[in-house]
Amino acid sequence: MGQYAWVPTADYIERANVTRLMRRHGIDDYWELVRRSREDIEWFWPAAIEDLGIEFFEPYRQLLDTSAGWRYARWFLGGRINLAHNCVDRHAAGERAGAPAIVWEGEDGDTRTLTYADLDREVGRVAAGLQAAGVSQGEAVGVFLPMVPEAAIAAYACARIGAIYLPIFSGFGAPAVATRLRDAEAKALITADGFLRRGRHVDMKAVADEAVEQAPSVRHVFVYRRFPNRDLRLAGRDVAWDDAFLAGAEPATSVPLDPETPVMIAYTSGTTGKPKGSVHVHGGLLVKMTAEVAYETDVHPGELLYWVTDMGWIMGPWEVIGAHSLGATVLMYEGAPNHPDPGRVWALVERHRVDALGVSPTLIRSLMSAGDDYVTRHDCSSLRVIGSTGEPWNPEPYRWLSEVVGKGRVPIINISGGTEVGACFLGQAPVIPTKSCSLGSPALGMAIDVYDADGHPVRGEVGELVCTKPWPAMTRSFWRDDERYIASYWSRWDDVWVHGDWASIDEDGYWFLHGRSDDTLNIAGKRIGPAEFESAAVEHPAVAECAAIGVPDEVKGTAVWCFCILKPGFEPGDALAAEVADRIAIELGRAFRPAEVRFVEELPKTRSAKILRRAIRAKVVGEDPGDLSSIENPGALEAIEKSLR
């Protein structure tokens, strides 16, 4: 693709949200904006709030307080704000009242549309019902729902009354749901009777029932009827959605809150032990997510954003909160992105005229293996921006997404952060050229750097991704576990957040990620990330996907095993395995030829399409894999085990 995969046209630059911000402050160059926003965060965040029109009930008197150290930074002191007011109330009371806020499509093709006025009414009903049930400010409400509008409604209802929204991934089993409910001491659970996944009815209520039996703090269970014509068995503490949240009830209004009031506990799986509950607050989460959706994915009022995700992962709240704060529309799709065929995502883009689409590299590798026809039969000309996150890219899937899907005219805005970040560390705007597989620049307002092993900034080589200044959406510790929070991010260097990713910056200032630093492979004294093996493997014409892991080796210290999914028309065998290993050796050098190449039908992944390498490694070496609650396809581990025989 040459030096750049995409170069912005004058139209892209002219209409970009970030161009408006730059002109307000007399800045002509995006890289200058990045520099200034990193060096002067006290200037940038108030500038962004003003530009984005975020409303405080009472203005803050002090932007930032780091008196307890910046690992415990507090933002917008003295102000009063409510996330739900900014995302729902103000639009319902203004010119966007009749504009669509949510467009929903079920896997069976059913559709619904809620305007901002509709959303406001529904949020008010649910908020009033929660209050009537005795849910108070500061109490957690578990939301275990599929991708239906009610998942967003429930989140905003919690925010409106100052309760804490506890999103739970719709694909979890009962033990994982119970763990989160217990840890947060949730007082209520909002769930559904089920949803459709790959043409199959998933009995969500049965999972919820089992989980609640293990979560004694839960007093109420509210059940949304996704399938109103099916029988639903309600137990003593259960109440149907329509009965609990009455249409005629006086709606609850948004409560002015201290910006540091917790709004969400978002759990992320740990390699060992219980999941980590990242605590996010009304002011910081709202400001950061709005800024990213506006400046990076360049979403405007009235445009449609669709991210292939679940409300149980951080990108679900990210797209909903960010888009609604801007007065845009969110597309929520219930089912699998490749059902009934691998063209479902592209059909959704065509049918709903999606402006901004968000995907993961793993999803694209999977869809790419089905061939170009599933894309080209659909009209994807509405796309203006393609976002991506989740893991490092391989060059060939990136090229396919850019050229086959985007026709070379659409930027891929690659972003990266995490649940604890509340949003993103890295991610450019569509006003500068994109480079294949690059994340562009630090996100605005983020003091990101790359450190060597001694804690010194490095350029042109791989090092640890760190952050050296606070940002509004950073987690306010882990829920009731300060010690784990400090150990996870602050134990290496003073006042430096160490994120656990390998990163590098090239000669043009473009940033790249190279995988998790805890996934790093040390082979004969040379450190290398699994993504480099995986990229080399998928260069072979037979390989659709690959997961690389390191296993103990007496000679090299670590030997690499590659687990590959083949494209249609190729048969596994020793000769093909040798070919793939040789291709990797050609790309990386003979010293990095994998010791084993095994073929499997699927790889263990989360619903957001991240490959669980640690689970694969644990299966190979016979170790405890840690928390596997996020895995969507447990059968993939059986396939790994079968390949070892």
Residues of the chain with pLDDT under 50: 1, 271-272
Q: Which domains does the chain have, with CATH numbers?
A: 520-643 (3.30.300.30)
Q: What is the pLDDT of residue 406?
A: 97
Q: What is the pLDDT of residue 525?
A: 56
- Reported as half-sphere exposure (CB side, CA atoms, 13 A), residue 95 has a value of 3
Spatial separation of the C-alpha atoms in residues 283 and 582, rounded to whole Å: 53
Q: What is the pLDDT of residue 339?
A: 94
In the block, which residue shows the tokens 């790359």? 450
The alpha carbon of 70 is separated from its chain's Cα centroid by a whole number of angstroms, namely 25
Q: What is the pLDDT of residue 35?
A: 98
Spatial separation of the C-alpha atoms in residues 366 and 373, rounded to whole Å: 14
Over residues 498-508, the pLDDT tens digits come to 998 889 999 99
DSSP conformational letter for 401: I
Over residues 400-443, the pLDDT tens digits come to 999 999 999 999 999 999 999 999 999 999 999 999 999 999 99
Q: What is the pLDDT of residue 524?
A: 56
CA distances from 279 to 159, 177, 261, 285, 599 (A): 14, 18, 10, 10, 40
150 within 8 A of 192, measured Cβ to Cβ? yes
Spatial separation of the C-alpha atoms in residues 385 and 406, rounded to whole Å: 9
Question: Would you tell me how many other CB atoms lie within 10 Å of the CB of residue 301?
Answer: 13
428 within 8 A of 448, measured Cβ to Cβ? no
In the block, which residue shows the tokens 């995907």? 359
Alpha-carbon Rg of the chain, whole angstroms? 24
Q: What is the pLDDT of residue 607?
A: 66
